[in-house]
Amino acid sequence: MTARPFFHSFAALLAALLTGASGTVAAADYSLNGGAIAFSAPSDWPVIMQMSEGNPQVVAFQVKDPADSGTGEATRVTVTTRKLDDAQAFQTFVNQSLDKARQTPGYESETGADGSSLRYSGLNQKTRYKFRESYYFKNGIAVQLRCVHPILKATAPAWVTAFDQGCDQIAASLGK
């Protein structure tokens, strides 16, 4: 009798692991500032720009939403770094970035699931976009993660979920 409950528990655990594994996204690794800043991003997000010398440095991704085809709108994610002298300079950098965000036409603050990132929407020409910005200070380097996508009627909820998970993946890897 004890073998049967164990088997069912084991089968349930195995099913949970397999289900969880099927939801994972393959990751590609990136680094900036000579490896001082490292992160991973979904491997199916193509890099559209990479500057890994000088100050600032950036990796930019374009994330294809089938709904934006032919609209002239684009979803993008950027990780930007800037060497700074100290934590006070980092706070100034963050404050300037927040001020710039608030100047976005049609700016509307939003609350997010994590509270550690600035979430807002704003207009780019006539299209409303959702913005998510997160900031980190590591090894004397300021890091900004910026996830931006247009709000389009034809965008599937599953696409938005996958996009948010990709941004979460980058944020988690930057936070290590």
Residue 125, both tokens: 């020409």
pLDDT at 172 exceeding the cut of 90:
yes
Q: Say how many domains are in the chain.
A: 1
- In a domain? residue 15: no
Does 13 map to a domain? no
For residue 162, what are the CA distances in angstroms to 24, 31, 41, 138? 10, 23, 12, 27
3-state secondary structure of 146: strand
Local structure of 67: helix, strand or coil: helix
Return all residues near 49 (Cβ < 8 A) that are at least 6 apart.
Answer: 58, 59, 60
In a domain, 19, yes or no: no
Q: Is 1 exposed, middle or buried (0-12, 13-18, 19+ CB in 10 A)?
A: exposed
Domain-embedded: residue 8 = no
Q: How many residues does the chain have?
A: 176
* In a domain? residue 46: yes
Please tell me the distance from the alpha carbon of residue 29 to that of residue 40, in angstroms, as a whole number. Answer: 4
Per-residue pLDDT at 10 = 34
- Asked if the structure places residue 50 within a domain, the reply is yes
Task: Give Cα 13 distance to the centre of its chain.
Answer: 30
Q: Exposed/middle/buried for 76, CB within 10 Å: 0-12, 13-18, 19+?
A: middle
Q: What is the CATH number of the domain that holds 101?
A: 3.40.1000.10
What would the pLDDT profile of 68-124 be if each residue is shown by its tens digit? 999 999 999 999 999 999 999 999 999 999 999 999 999 999 876 565 688 999 999
Cα gap 66→82, rounded to integer Å: 33
Binned at pLDDT 50, 70 and 90, residue 175 comes out as confident
Domain membership of residue 39 as a residue range: 28-174
Residue 27's pLDDT band (cuts 50, 70, 90): confident
Report if residue 9 sits inside a domain.
no
Does residue 12 form part of some domain?
no
Buried b (16+ CB within 10 A) or exposed e, 138-147: beebbbbbbb
